[in-house]
Chains A and B, each alone.
Chain A
Amino acid sequence: MLAETIRRRLAYALVLCVFVFLVSPLIVVSASSFDSGAYFAARFPPQTFGLKWYQEIPPRYWSALYVSLTAASIASLISGSLGVLAALGIVRGKLPGVEWLRSFFRIPLQIPLVVTGVVFLQFYYALQLAFGVTLAATLPGLIVAYVFVGMPYAVGTVGSMLERLNPRLDEASAILGCSRWRTFWWVTFPIIRPSIIAGMLYGFIVAFGDVPLSIFLSSPSYTTLPVEIFNTLQFDFNPSVLSISTLIAATSVVSLWMIQRLVGLDMLPR
Chain B
Amino acid sequence: MRNVGDPRPWRLLLVIPLAISFLLFALPQAYFIAASFHENLGYGRVGEDWTLVNYAKVFTDPLYVGALFKTIGLAALTAAICLALGFPVSYVIARMTSRRKATLIGFLVAAMFITPVVKDLGLIILLSQNGVVNQALSYVAKPVAWLGSEAGVVVGLVHYTLPLIVLLLGTVISTVPRSLEEAAHAHGASRARVFYGVIIPIVKPGMIAATLMVFNLAMGAFTTPALLGGGRVLTFPILIQRSVILDVDYPFAASLSTILLVSVFCLNVLAGYLMTRQGQFRGSRPTPVALAPKAA
Contact B126 A215 (CB under 8 A): no
Which residues of chain A have C-beta atoms less than 8 A from B93's C-beta? Answer: 15
Contact A88 B13 (CB under 8 A): yes
Asked whether B145 is an interface residue with its Cβ less than 8 Å from the other chain, the reply is: no
Given contacts A22-B159, A82-B16, A268-B167, contact A252 B11 (CB under 8 A): no
State in angstroms the CA–CA spacing of A208 and B115 once bound together. Answer: 8
Which residues of chain A have C-beta atoms less than 8 A from B5's C-beta? Answer: 167
Which residues of chain A have C-beta atoms less than 8 A from B2's C-beta? Answer: 174, 179-180
Asked whether B292 is an interface residue with its Cβ less than 8 Å from the other chain, the reply is: no
Number of A-B contacts (CB under 8 A): 257
Chain A min CB distance to B277 (Å):
24
Chain B min CB distance to A9 (Å):
11
Which residues of chain A have C-beta atoms less than 8 A from B222's C-beta? Answer: 112-114, 211-212
- The A interface is mostly helix, strand or loop, or mixed, namely helix
Which residues of chain B have C-beta atoms less than 8 A from A121's C-beta? Answer: 244
Contact B14 A29 (CB under 8 A): no
Chain B min CB distance to A1 (Å):
14
Contact B254 A113 (CB under 8 A): no
User: Which residues in window 234-251 of B have CB below 8 A to A?
Assistant: 237, 240-241, 244-245, 250
When C-beta atoms are compared, the residue in chain A nearest to B155 turns out to be: A21
- Against B, the Cβ 8 Å flags (1 = close, 0 = not) of A12-25 are 10110011011111
- Against A, the Cβ 8 Å flags (1 = close, 0 = not) of B134-177 are 00000000000000000000000001001110111001000000
State in angstroms the CA–CA spacing of A256 and B91 once bound together. Answer: 24
User: Which residues in window 21-64 of B have CB below 8 A to A?
Assistant: 21, 24-25, 27-29, 31-32, 35, 44
Chain B min CB distance to A91 (Å):
8
Asked whether A125 is an interface residue with its Cβ less than 8 Å from the other chain, the reply is: yes
Chain A min CB distance to B203 (Å):
17
Asked whether B106 is an interface residue with its Cβ less than 8 Å from the other chain, the reply is: yes
Asked whether A11 is an interface residue with its Cβ less than 8 Å from the other chain, the reply is: yes
Contact A248 B115 (CB under 8 A): yes
State in angstroms the CA–CA spacing of A105 and B226 once bound together. Answer: 29
Which of B116-124, B193-201, B282-290 is the contact stretch? B116-124
State in angstroms the CA–CA spacing of A233 and B25 once bound together. Answer: 32
State in angstroms the CA–CA spacing of A25 and B146 once bound together. Answer: 15
State in angstroms the CA–CA spacing of A16 and B201 once bound together. Answer: 27
Asked whether A66 is an interface residue with its Cβ less than 8 Å from the other chain, the reply is: no
Contact B28 A180 (CB under 8 A): no
Contact A241 B244 (CB under 8 A): no
Chain A min CB distance to B141 (Å):
18
Contact A122 B31 (CB under 8 A): yes
Chain B min CB distance to A27 (Å):
8
User: Which residues in window 75-96 of A have CB below 8 A to B?
Assistant: 82-83, 85-86, 88-90, 92-95
When C-beta atoms are compared, the residue in chain B nearest to A209 turns out to be: B115
Contact A209 B13 (CB under 8 A): no
Which residues of chain A have C-beta atoms less than 8 A from B296's C-beta? Answer: none
When C-beta atoms are compared, the residue in chain B nearest to A145 turns out to be: B24
Which residues of chain A have C-beta atoms less than 8 A from B295's C-beta? Answer: none
Contact B24 A226 (CB under 8 A): no
Asked whether A74 is an interface residue with its Cβ less than 8 Å from the other chain, the reply is: no
Asked whether A151 is an interface residue with its Cβ less than 8 Å from the other chain, the reply is: yes
Q: Which residues of B line the A interface, CB within 8 A?
A: 1-2, 4-5, 7-14, 16-18, 20-21, 24-25, 27-29, 31-32, 35, 44, 85-86, 88-89, 91-93, 102, 104-111, 113-126, 128, 131-132, 159, 162-164, 166-168, 171, 213, 216, 219-223, 226-227, 231, 237, 240-241, 244-245, 250, 253-254, 257, 260-261, 264
19 example contacts (A-B, Cβ-Cβ < 8 A) are as follows A25-B123, A26-B119, A26-B122, A44-B132, A85-B13, A89-B12, A112-B222, A112-B264, A118-B244, A118-B253, A125-B44, A148-B24, A151-B21, A180-B2, A211-B222, A212-B237, A245-B117, A256-B106, A256-B109
